[in-house]
Amino acid sequence: MKLEKVTKKPRRYDDACGTAHGLELIGERWALLVMRELMLGPRRFGDLRSSLPGLSANVLTQRLEGLEASGLVRRETLPPPASVPVYALTGWGLEAEPIIRELGRWAARSPGHDPTLPLSAVSLILSLRTMFDPARAHDAALDFVFGRDRFHARVRDGALISGRDPGAAPEAVIEGEPGAVAGLIYGFAALDDLERDGALKVFGDRGAIARFAAAFELPGKAA
Amino acid sequence: MKLEKVTKKPRRYDDACGTAHGLELIGERWALLVMRELMLGPRRFGDLRSSLPGLSANVLTQRLEGLEASGLVRRETLPPPASVPVYALTGWGLEAEPIIRELGRWAARSPGHDPTLPLSAVSLILSLRTMFDPARAHDAALDFVFGRDRFHARVRDGALISGRDPGAAPEAVIEGEPGAVAGLIYGFAALDDLERDGALKVFGDRGAIARFAAAFELPGKAA
DNA sequence: CTGTATCCGTGTTGATACTG
DNA sequence: CAGTATCAACACGGATACAG
């Protein structure tokens, strides 16, 4: 019925500059945020939608098609018994993480940045990777629970290891919304308040949380 | 006549993620390329236009207004006797250079990247900063002449210093189109051929050019 | 020369409804 | 759940015309 894909990309920059070509690859609206959501592993279409409120289904389809055509995203089917379609970054797509980090680090200094808006779980983990300061690091082992999604974060020898799925032997487990965890770790909300409001539940060693949080700080505003 | 500036920015992401906010700041088409052109110092409206073919005057006006409203660009008037209006990056705007570099470095690995397209002078200098490899650096002092624009590049003690205006005591001066210089330095064109075609004119020590070029290499394709 | 203000055709974006 | 179809609004780019 719809065999011919016209695949017109008439909006080019015609510029040999790598930056300009990068914008042709991931400069379309939502494209980089879709990649952000895939940075920690494959996701389903519906999971992407719920992590990106405001992105409609047809646009998500277009972005995934475009990213797949560019060799950044691969459409896969999970092995049985799951057998569901998922979208995954290719190796090269994964290499875009430094771009996301630099952009986030820089924009966090914006006077117009509102850190109280909703935050996806992947965004939180990537922001931890971005804002981690090895000079302030103390060993700590934390897990996070966001609904059915679980993540681990480990500080060891001045390095941060983080990702999807729980880790071994966490010293503390934090459960709540990603935004509340951000408030806790970046220090613009107090743990006592967050627990009293029911925004966060904490299990285990609170000292480990304090040690962990000490390594993370938001940069000052540029103004 | 048109006093009310509606200034609608209805296309937001509503996401606390710094990356998303960054896209709201510089994610519009052409915005990052306008900033790229300002990275090496203030420019005039017409200079920006000629460096960015395909960008129409009305869109350039919109971008400059938006970037100024975000605190990234400042409109200034050069002191007499010049007394001409120019656009300059603010300090915070200047801090976006790592984003441009990471994006360029990453996109240079794209199979679809065509390095033979036209290239602006600023793009060339920024690409040198991006691709410079301290491990291969040998001292060299080069100046570049692109029409009326002149730039300097110095490798000293494993570091690259580059910018607008000629430097002191260059060992060699290269004159031509930025794209031809890119071909020379990145090694996909031979100096002899470029000179024979009239694409490049070289004055001074050719050995310095070879020493300089040895520190720059384009990354391999991802594919 | 440095913009600003229009109109206009096209393409992109996004919300809603809908199908398998 | 995973998309597709349709339609409306907007952004983009070209071409002016115009003001200082």
Query: Does residue B6 register a pLDDT over 60?
Result: no
pLDDT band at A11 (very low <50, low <70, confident <90, very high): confident
Query: Does residue B102 register a pLDDT over 80?
Result: yes
pLDDT value of position A6: 41
| Residue A71 forms contact with B (CB below 8 Å) | yes
- What is the average pLDDT across A71-75? 94
Spatial distance between the Cα atoms of B193 and A34, rounded to a whole number of angstroms: 45
Length, in residues, of chain A = 223
**Mean pLDDT for all residues in chain A:** 91
Q: How far apart are the first and last CA of chain A?
A: 54
Show residues of chain A in contact with B66, CB under 8 Å: none
- What is the average pLDDT across A129-151? 97
Spatial distance between the Cα atoms of B16 and A181, rounded to a whole number of angstroms: 13
CA of B59 vs chain A CAs: smallest distance (Å): 14
Interface contact flag, A103 B104, Cβ < 8 Å: no
| Residue B116 forms contact with A (CB below 8 Å) | yes
Query: Does residue A217 register a pLDDT over 90?
Result: yes
B18-62: pLDDT as tens digits: 999 999 999 988 999 999 999 999 999 989 998 998 888 888 998
Query: Does residue B10 register a pLDDT over 70?
Result: no
Show residues of chain B in contact with A52, CB under 8 Å: 15
The gap from C-alpha A96 to its chain's centroid, in whole angstroms, comes to: 12
Structure tokens at B216: 């720059």
Domain annotation for chain B: domains and CATH numbers = 18-95 (1.10.10.10), 114-213 (3.30.1050.10)
Query: Does residue B8 register a pLDDT over 70?
Result: no
Query: Does residue A1 register a pLDDT over 50?
Result: no
Contact A170, A155 (CB under 8 A): no
pLDDT value of position A116: 82
pLDDT value of position A156: 97
Query: Does residue B119 register a pLDDT over 60?
Result: yes
Query: Does residue A114 register a pLDDT over 80?
Result: yes
Spatial distance between the Cα atoms of A119 and A52, rounded to a whole number of angstroms: 9
- What is the average pLDDT across B97-104? 97
Q: Which nucleotides of D are covered by protein (CB under 7 A)?
A: 1-6, 10-17
A112-151 b/e (C-beta count within 10 Å ≥ 16 → b): ebebeeebbbbbbbbbbbbbbeeeebeebbbbbbbeebbb
**Cis-peptide into B81, omega within 30 deg:** yes
Query: Does residue A2 register a pLDDT over 70?
Result: no
| Residue A82 forms contact with B (CB below 8 Å) | no
| Element holding A189 (H helix, E strand) | none
Interface contact flag, A107 B25, Cβ < 8 Å: yes
A54 Cβ within 7 A of any nucleic strand C atom: yes
Show residues of chain B in contact with A179, CB under 8 Å: 16
Spatial distance between the Cα atoms of A54 and A90, rounded to a whole number of angstroms: 25
CA of B210 vs chain A CAs: smallest distance (Å): 23
pLDDT value of position A143: 98
pLDDT value of position A33: 95
Spatial distance between the Cα atoms of A19 and B177, rounded to a whole number of angstroms: 19
Query: Does residue B155 register a pLDDT over 90?
Result: yes
Structure tokens at A207: 């000292």
pLDDT value of position B7: 39
pLDDT value of position A9: 52
Q: Which of residues A207 and A84 earns the better pLDDT score?
A: A207
Query: Does residue A100 register a pLDDT over 70?
Result: yes
